[in-house]
Amino acid sequence: NESIDCPTEDLNGNRVLDTVGGLDEDTNNNGSLDPQDPASLAAVEGESATLSGGMLVTDNNGSGFFELLYPSSNALWADVEIIARAEALGSEAEDTFKIGLPALAADILDTDVSPPSVVSPYGHQDLNNTLLKNVVLDGLTLPVLTGCETSY
């Protein structure tokens, strides 16, 4: 059987299980959004910026440093998006940074041990059992996989 990776159920990216375009985001009916957050942010120790609720508050100079933390088993299997917003003197700016979670070279190059990310922690979908639903989100019609399960 052919299979594909399961996309996130969080269609609108708000990290809340809700209904979008008339479709319940919980497509596999397990009561939660899948996958769970694959990574988290942490403020760099020794810096004066603070991190609270996923929001970094900069120091008096407008700088803030953070680290992207994730388990090695999520490497190569998840893409994350970091959005930076700034407000100053009545002006606003926003920028988005997207990155796939990289693996450590040492994890990949050790031929005696399987890498921690050799199997997707997010499962896969058997193409023979895939159902597609169309969801309208912000005026766009998107096909959404349903029935995605964590199976290896």
Q: Cα 38 from chain centroid?
A: 6
- Enumerate the domain spans of the chain: 1-35+122-152, 36-116
Contact 57, 80 (CB under 8 A): no
91, β-bridge pairs: 88
The predicted structure's pLDDT at residue 8: 77
Percent of the chain residues topping a pLDDT of 90: 11
Is the whole-model pTM more than 0.85?
no
Instruction: Give pLDDT tens digits for 87-115.
Output: 888 999 999 999 989 998 888 888 898 88
Q: Is 74 exposed, middle or buried (0-12, 13-18, 19+ CB in 10 A)?
A: buried
Between the alpha carbon of residue 75 and those of residues 11, 15, 122, 149, the distances in Å are 22, 20, 12, 20
Tokens describing residue 75: 């490497």
C-beta neighbour count of 75 within 10 angstroms: 20
